[in-house]
Amino acid sequence: MKRNKKGMSPGSLVFTGEKKVEEIKISAFDFNASRVHEINISEQELSKLKKYKSSKNVTWINICGIHNTQVIDETGKIFGIHPLVLEDILNVNHGPKSDEYDDYVFIVTKMISYNNELNELNIEQVSFVLGKKFLITFQEREGDVFDLIREKIRSNNGRIRKSGADYLAYRLIDTMVDNYFTVLEKIDEHIEKIEDSLLVSPEEGTLQKIHSIKKETIRLKRAVSPLRDIIYTLEREQYSFIAKSTYIYLRDLHDHIKQIADNVENYREVINGLQEVYISQSGQKMNEIVKILTIISTIFIPLTFIVGIYGMNFHAENSPWNMPELSWKYGYPFVILVMICVVIGMLIFFKRKKWL
């Protein structure tokens, strides 16, 4: 259940999202080039985190589930995290951002996945507190894209175990960004389906699909564009706990995010174009309907005129000027034939004018 923070003092710890896990799960990796120690900690065992504050190894603590403000507050006290940072961690509606403090950097990012059944994005806030020897990540729900990183730490595959917490943070963010490309592929497939349906036979639900994918693209842009600025800031600033060797990776990460942002902008233009095509086709279809109805109405105008005249029933017996056709043997077939000739003549006229 979402809670309102209106009127509360800065630094008040209030969870603004929805509870997505029953129990908060805390995992910790403490590693160096030669060894790794992995442990799972319950909410009641938070005091075990204290030993990692002064660890000489690199420590990655992942907290899955942030609805329990007491756990977040206690974690903040152990690692000296500012109350305003804890407040932003609990505010899951916060946009991506970064803040610099004396001995750590706070980064808010968005983990994104695509729901194929609902054709919508699942967006989860992931917060990073990066210090010299530790990295703490805060997630809303269980399940992420970090399993490959965990396996690399366990198996000592790659350079993660040989590097610091800064490189680990880069790899985690880079993994999320790589998943953005997968999301883009799903959006691209959805756009292609909408485009194909527009070319074949637009349906009533097509416009709703266009609006839906447009909304999801806007949400994706809000998650990606600020992250590009965040990485650019990290790349340009000189932090004592970020190794020089990591900056080249940050530049590469910035290029990837820029590419994603450009693709998202291109998708928005394509979607706007699809919307215009749909409106144009709908207008054209309506014009065709109006055209057919107009032609039908035009054909029936003279027929209605003829029927109206012969419906007045002025008998020829009363006056020689009164409709002599009423007493003709072939009067009725003659009028029908005249009406058919009128219809044929009008259709020929419309055809020559290229109105049909």
Q: For 92-102, how does the pLDDT look when each residue is reduced to its tens digit (9 = 90+)?
A: 888 899 998 98
Residue 77 has pLDDT above 80, yes or no: yes
CB crowding 303-329: b at 16 or more within 10 Å, else e: eeeeeeeeeeeeeeeeeeeebeeeeee
Q: For 316-328, how does the pLDDT look when each residue is reduced to its tens digit (9 = 90+)?
A: 677 777 777 777 7
Residue 313 has pLDDT above 80, yes or no: no
Q: What is the pLDDT of residue 141?
A: 84
Residue 10 has pLDDT above 60, yes or no: yes
Q: What is the pLDDT of residue 336?
A: 87
Residue 30 pairs in a beta bridge with 37, 59
Q: What is the pLDDT of residue 338?
A: 86
Q: Which two tokens mark 99?
A: 């803040």
Q: For 243-256, how does the pLDDT look when each residue is reduced to its tens digit (9 = 90+)?
A: 889 999 999 999 99
According to DSSP, the β-strands at 120-131 and 104-115 are antiparallel
Categorize the per-residue pLDDT at 3 as very low, low, confident or very high, splitting at 50, 70 and 90: low
For residues 281-299, average pLDDT:
84
Of the ranges 38-47, 132-141, 233-242, 250-259, which one carries the lowest mean pLDDT score? Answer: 233-242
For residues 121-144, average pLDDT:
91
- Helix segments in 2-146, DSSP class H: 50-53, 69-79, 83-90
What is the share, in percent, of the chain residues with pLDDT greater than 70?
96
The residue length of the chain stands at 356
- 61: closest CA among 94, 37, 88, 96? 37
- Domains of the chain (ranges; CATH) run 25-281 (3.30.460.20), 288-352 (1.20.58.340)
What is the share, in percent, of the chain residues with pLDDT greater than 90?
44
Residue 1 has pLDDT above 50, yes or no: no
For residues 24-48, average pLDDT:
91
For residues 56-66, average pLDDT:
93
Q: What is the pLDDT of residue 9?
A: 60
Mean pLDDT in the chain?
87
Residue 175 has pLDDT above 90, yes or no: yes
